Structure 1
Amino acid sequence: MPFPAVHPALDRALANKGYAEPTPVQAAVLEEGHATRDLLVSAQTGSGKTVAFGLAAAPTLLGDRPTFGPGGAPLALAIAPTRELALQVAEELRWLYADADAKIATCVGGMDARREARALGFGVHIVVGTPGRLKDHIDRGNLDLSQLKVAVLDEADEMLDMGFREDLEFILDQAPAERRTLLFSATIARDIATLAKRYQNDAVRIDATDKSRQHADIEYRAYRIQPNEIEHATVNTLRWFEAGRAMVFCSTRDSVRHLQSSLLERGFASVSLSGEMGQRERTEALQALRDGRARVCVATDVAARGLDLPDLGLVIHAELPVNRAALLHRSGRTGRAGKKGVSVMLVPHSRRRKAERLLAEAGVEAQWTGAPTFDEIRKADDARLLDPVHFEAEVSDEDMAVAKRMIAERTPDEIAAALVRLLRKEQPAPEELSDPAADRPGKRERVRADDGTAAQPWPGERLQPDEVVWFRMDIGRNKNADPKWLIPLICRVGGVSKPQIGSIRTFPEETRFEIAKTHEKAFREAVAASSEDVRITPSEAPTPGSMKAAKFAGHKSGGPRRDDGERPFKKPYAKRAEGGEGDARPPFKKKPWAPHADKARGEGGEGGKSFAKKPFKPKPGFKKGGFKKG
């Protein structure tokens, strides 16, 4: 279906950009009868919302006029949650309204507020900004909304989540009540519905999300990894897919700095985005991604909101998102505008349940595997070198002359080896990884490792003495050591799971435990890199004598013994009533019998109820062996 005619200037802009058919959200807002109505639209990220509300606002802003004319107080206001998204919206509207001579100004945090004030003073038609900066310009008298005809709230749910409710309400209260309000949100939650009810007038509800095909262009994968191998798994994932552009998400600024530094050290052209960066740094980082100088962007959720990077083929969740919305938002950076993308979650074994819950809540299915290994990546590199596309490209005369000279001076084997060496030199080396929970064969089959040692046991199967090594930690019964919390501690610190832990022996000052030999190396590395406040070192197996001594040392059933070998009573007592030294037990005091008890014993006590045995009186129908039938 071609685009319906909206306005001659906008129709030409769409044709020049190559827009042939509208997306579902664009077609929905352009339906007949929506040209003058308020719109409440739910559409997922990457669906063409910016062009949609730009087209929807055109009849109100331009009418039958070919161009806008001189600028003045703004006629349209678009509000976005982040500066990056606001700048992207402004760029989209500039090419869309270029033939209509629209003057578009931006008001976003981190930019020069005085320059923005001068642009507003010269007169504009459309203003795009973030809530905080827009409110600041209104307070200073730089922004006059008295002539506003259209107000657009883009990603309204994100703005409410970020705490901009009061700023949004303040801004909308400054605009005329008869304006059109176009509200776009990924979901229409209760807060969004309340905002729409207050600031929209009989809005048309449009649901442009295709729930049966949500993120259909995104392939989800979940990689099982050791907790201490996040960096290595990120490197191998980037090397495996070799995407033109990739985004790696972390939870904190410190994680972003650390991971991006590691990628730079390994040879990846990477940039970072986090909330602590200034606008100039963020703009330079995004420009490096767009022009190809950088291939990988490491970012936090806040810094990456609303980003639309071209040809972003891969998203890596180096740290798990906090909720379903964050998962979909991160993953939605790829698979946009009909292009395919991949979203990879790196899942330590201790976080698998959370990852499965996030995927279930998001309604997406992921393929669970181990992360790409060193050997798998090398095989993929070899396949890429032999790809026919390299040999089908057109060769210039100059390149052919050099090739013939090389053939004359070198053998084909030498030329090919040099080519392979040069190509691999440009590629970061993959890392060695282990799969903490690889799919295992039949029920009782035990696979042997290359060195002859036993592979990982089945859950519940006891590790044999020749399959384990002993370690110790400086936590014992003096610190209430208990396997209930020691096992999770060992798993967290050492990057292992419960099947790799054997026996645990607790002593007064320490605890010794077994680790499967197959995971000894990874366990040692994880312990060395751990920041937990516990010291774990290699140890010898405890001897029977030490175990017996530990069993009775400071045991709860008895305190320290006396010199003569006798165990004293727990509570010291005074001298006996009859005299003499020592701390023996106090004499037994016989409790007096109650009168009714004396009577029960036949001693003639006075008063009270008698407890003497009464003669047996059978009930009617009773006979020896039970009651009669019937």
Structure 2
Amino acid sequence: MTFELASPALARALAEHGYVVLTPVQAAVLKPEAEGRDILVSAQTGSGKTVAFGLAMASDLIGAGDKVPDVGAPLGLVIAPTRELALQVAQELRWLYSQAGARIVACVGGMDPRSERRALEAGAAVVVGTPGRLRDHLERGALDLSRLAAVALDEADEMLDMGFREDLEFILDATPETRRTLLFSATMPKSIVALAKKYQRNALRIEATGGETGHADIEYRAVRVDPREAEKAVINLLRFFDSPTAIVFCNTRDSSRHLQAMLQERGFTAALLSGELGQHERNLSIQALRDGRARVCVATDVAARGLDLPTVGLVIHADLPHDAEALQHRSGRTGRAGRKGVSVLLVPPKARRRAENLFAEAKVVPDWQAPPTADEIRKLDRERMTRDEAFSGEPSEEESEIAAALLGELGAEKCAQALARLLRARLPEAEEVADPGHAPDFASGKAPRGGRQPLAGGVWFRLDVGRDRNADPKWLLPMLCRKGGVTRADIGAIRIFPKDSKVEIAAAAAEAFLHNMRRPGGDPIRVERIGPSGDNAGPKERQPRKGEKKR
């Protein structure tokens, strides 16, 4: 360990968590000139600032001792803008102060306030919460701040942007004037400067960003994509990078729901995180990502701040961020605290100028490229199979006996082929995706030619999902087979229009298909029969009248 702490308890906790060196912001708050002073810190997400203000508060909570004293009221208070961030901060402080005997209590919106009041009554050394819930506990007399020694404001700029100024001032006015105020903010607008001036005394300014452009540990890539193939590009990027955890950002709830459903159809374990979910559902999604039951998080910008998943190696912007700040906050979910990460923006040709402006404003230089091809992914798959965890570790006696029996009965080649088939079956199929910079039909806006051939005597059905919901034959086909209980051979032509789609089903399977599609569960898609093959199957091209030029 290359750093020393006044508190042996915190030093032991850091060592147990593998800390060898501190991040720049963590080292900065421990410098002699910061001791005992208010601090105003500029620090980006992913810089280790939660541990930083935990370390900074240690002198106020335990001094040079080993335990946090029980004084009957909280000694430390941390205020965060969102429920997710507050819960994560509480989790970090629990391990940091575990050996110091500190009890950490979280108070956030969406949780049972009665349980929180009981936890506060039982005693807390540090309280972590969101502004609204903390103010509610204060007004009800459940939170006593009379003994408070230090208060930390995490992502203060975000709290002001979200309209929490009045709540923050109410809380800070209720704290003792002798308390230390630690203010952490990614940016320093005038509103933050004014807040610091009002509630801090002789504050030490710490610039922990180091003037870097973006995050030094994040590799930015801009992927050219035909907007009609954006979902295929997402699939190939997930398969190409094969990150333990990946986050895919969408701009709307509808697009995030649709993308999550599509990824699940293709065999990805994908969790959804958006503003429409209740707190319980959000907690379930985050827990699934933390314990590995889900490897992909499809999210709206509600998850761009505060979500800390240590295994995120890839962020995909399926929709372009609204501004450079959103780009950086989204991308900041990877490349955290010294780990490497990749941030990929899908850029349709018409949005290239806007993407270039985003990169320029964010001061990042991306690597422009085409989407990964199916051939590239298959080549990687073959290399990764040799490193599969199935080949690691010593086999048990029973496994060795089974292997010997299989080899003796089937032979090595047949066993290897079966193993390759099993390993391939676990992987979602890669997609054929074109580079729009080289696709001949892209500039004209024409749909790609080809597709499934019509059936003889098929029956047409209308689905209430079209291009406006990113409908695509590659997504529709497996969904129709699964939900409709038909095979690929039973499905003929698929026609996709702006607001709906029409599919042709073999006459012998039509009745069962309609019945199965109308059963509850799965994708909420309405289906109606529209006639035999060709009837009402879609708009026909109008033939020009005599003397009229064809358009």
Shorter-chain TM band: 0.7 to 0.9
CA spacing shift, 1:302–1:526, aligned 2, 3 Å: farther
Q: Please give the secondary structure, in 1, of the residue aligned with 2:378.
A: helix
Write the mapping of 1:324-335 to structure 2, written as runs, cut at 5 A. 324-335=324-335
Other-structure match for 1:58: 58
Amino acid paired to 2:223: Y
> Structure 1 CA distance, aligned partners of 2:382 and 2:4?
50
| 2:229 paired with 1:229 | yes
Alpha-carbon spacing, 1:250–1:525, altered in 2? closer, same or farther (3 Å)? farther
Letter in 2 for 1:456: P
Equivalent-residue separation in structure 1 for 2:394 and 2:365 (angstroms): 42
Q: Which moved more, 1:420-429 or 1:211-220?
A: 211-220
Contact 1:273 1:304 in 2 (8 A): no
Aligned to 2:38: 38
- Which residue in the other structure is 1:528 paired with? 497
Unpaired segments of 5 or more residues in structure 1?
A: 439-454, 470-490, 496-523, 551-630
1:91-120: CA deviations, max 9, x gaps? 111122222221221110111100111111
For the 8 Å contact 2:226–2:442, the answer to whether it is kept is no
User: What TM-score comes out, normalization by structure 2 length?
Assistant: 0.80
Partners of 1:493 and 1:117 in 2: how far apart?
45
Range with greater deviation from structure 2 (98-107 or 536-545): 536-545
- Residue 65 of structure 1: CA displacement? 4.6
| Contact 1:77–1:150 (CA under 8 A) maintained in structure 2 | yes
- Confirm or deny: 8 A CA contact 2:7 2:65 kept in the other structure: no
Counterpart position of 1:351 = 351
2: CA distance between counterparts of 1:346 and 1:335? 19
Q: Is the 8 A contact 2:315 2:333 kept in 1?
A: yes
SS in structure 2 at match of 1:206: strand
Residue 276 of structure 1: aligned partner: 276
Once the two structures are superposed, the pairs formed by residues 313-462 of structure 1 within 5 Å of their partners are 313-386=313-386, 394-438=394-438, 456=440
Match for 1:546: what amino acid?
E
Q: Which residue of 2 aligns with 1:474?
A: none
The secondary structure found in structure 2 opposite 1:58 is: helix
Alignment map for 1:477-556 (pairs within 5 Å): 528-529=497-498, 539=541, 545-547=547-549
Q: How has the CA–CA distance of structure 1 residues 373 and 37 changed in structure 2, closer, same or farther, with 3 Å as cutoff?
A: same
Deviation, 1:213, is 5.9
Q: Name the CA shift for 1:69/1:386 in 2 (closer, same or farther; >3 Å).
A: closer
| Residues 342 and 538 of structure 1, relative CA distance in 2, 3 Å threshold | farther
**Cα separation, 2, equivalents of 1:259 and 1:458:** 23
Deviations 1:540-577 (A, max 9, x none): 786892149x9xxxxxxxxxxxxxxxxxxxxxxxxxxx
**Residue 395 (structure 1) shift:** 4.3
Pair 1:294-2:294 in alignment? yes
Q: Structure 2 counterpart of 1:318, which letter?
A: A
CA distance in 1, matches of 2:337, 2:64: 31
Partner of 2:254: 254
Provide closer, same or farther for how the CA distance between residues 421 and 65 of structure 1 changes in structure 2, counting only shifts above 3 A.
Answer: closer
- In 1, Cα distance between the equivalents of 2:182 and 2:104? 18
Write the distance in 1 (CA, Å) between the matches of 2:39 and 2:495.
54
* CA distance 1:389–1:546, change in 2 (3 Å): same
Partners of 1:540 and 1:340 lie apart in 2 by 56
Task: Give the aligned residue type for 1:14.
Answer: L
Q: 1 CA distance for matches of 2:149 and 2:437? A: 59
**Aligned ranges 1:3-18 → 2 under 5 Å:** 3-18=3-18
Instruction: Tell me how far apart the structure 1 counterparts of residues 469 and 329 of structure 2 sit (CA, whole Å).
Output: 31
The answer to whether the 8 A contact 2:8-2:65 is kept is: no
Aligned counterparts of 2:153 and 2:229: Cα–Cα separation in 1: 41
Closer/same/farther in 2, CA of residues 253 and 405 from structure 1, 3 Å limit: same
Measure the CA separation in 2 of the matches of 1:457 and 1:338.
43
Matched ranges for 1:194-213 at <5 A = 194-212=194-212
Kept after mapping to 1: 8 A contact 2:258/2:469: no
Identity of aligned residues (%): 58
Q: How far apart, in 2, do the equivalents of 1:252 and 1:492 lie?
A: 13
Taking the aligned partners of 2:150 and 2:331, their CA distance within structure 1 comes to 31
CA distance in 2, matches of 1:98, 1:492: 51
How many Å separate the matches in 2 of 1:174 and 1:27? Answer: 30
Partner of 1:443 in structure 2?
none
Aligned to 2:202, the other structure's residue is in SS state coil
- Which region of structure 1 is more displaced relative to structure 2, 101-110 or 428-437? 428-437
Partner of 1:73: 73
User: 1:566: which partner in 2?
Assistant: none
For the residue of structure 1 that corresponds to 2:298, the secondary structure is strand
Q: Does the 8 A contact of 1:71 with 1:123 survive in 2?
A: no
Q: What SS does structure 1 have at the residue aligned with 2:497? A: helix
CA distance in 2, matches of 1:248, 1:492: 19
Amino acid at match of 1:253: R
CA distance in 2, matches of 1:307, 1:216: 19
| 1:212-223 correspondence runs (5 A) | 212=212, 214-223=214-223
Matched position secondary structure for 2:32: coil
Quick check: 1:307–1:333 contact (8 Å CA) kept in 2?
yes
Do the aligned partners of 1:150 and 1:182 also contact (CA within 8 Å) in 2? yes
1:539 offset after TM fit, Å? Answer: 4.0
How far apart are residue 493 of structure 1 and its match? 12
Give the Å deviation of 1:411. Answer: 3.3
SS of the counterpart of 2:368? strand
State the Cα deviation string for residues 110-162 of structure 1 (Å, max 9, x = none).
11100111111222221000111111111222112222211100111221222
Look up the SS of the partner of 1:315 in the other structure: strand
| Segment drifting more, 408-417 vs 202-211 | 408-417
Return the letter of the residue paired with 1:380.
L
The SS at the match of 2:95 is helix
**Structure 2 counterpart of 1:124, one-letter code:** A
What's the TM-score once normalised by structure 1's chain length?
0.70
Secondary structure at the counterpart of residue 424 of structure 2:
helix
Name the residue aligned to 2:19: 19
Question: Does the CA contact (< 8 Å) of 2:73 and 2:146 recur in 1?
Answer: yes
Gaps of 5+ in 2: 450-466, 472-492, 501-537
Q: Counterpart of 1:105 in 2: which secondary structure?
A: strand
- Hey, what does 2:129 align to over in structure 1? 129
3-state DSSP class of the match of 2:212? Answer: helix
Cα deviation, residue 55, structure 1: 1.0
User: Taking structure 1 as reference, are residues 283 and 493 closer, same or farther at Cα in structure 2, changes over 3 Å only?
Assistant: closer
Name the residue aligned to 1:117: 117
Structure 1 segment 79-90 matched on structure 2, within 5 A = 79-90=79-90
Alpha carbons of structure 1 residues 193 and 18: separation in structure 2 relative to 1, 3 Å: same
Q: Deviations over 1:35-84 (max 9, x none)?
A: 11000011111111111111111112223554233352221110011111
The match for 1:139 is 139
- Tell me: CA distance 1:541–1:493, structure 2 relative to 1, closer, same or farther (3 Å): farther
Determine the C-alpha separation between the residues in 1 that align with 2:64 and 2:150: 17
1:166 positional shift: 1.7
Q: Which residue of 2 aligns with 1:170?
A: 170
State the distance in 2 between where 1:301 and 1:246 align: 15
Greater relative contact order: 1 or 2 (C-alpha under 8 angstroms, separation 6 or more)? 2
Is the Cα contact below 8 Å between 2:214 and 2:362 reproduced in 1?
Answer: no
Query: Contact 1:245 / 1:296 at 8 angstroms: preserved in 2?
Result: yes
Provide the secondary structure at the position in 1 that maps to 2:314: strand
Structure 1 counterpart of 2:166, which letter? E
Check conservation: 2:245, 2:289, Cα contact below 8 A: yes
Letter in 2 for 1:258: H
Q: Deviation at 1:87?
A: 1.0
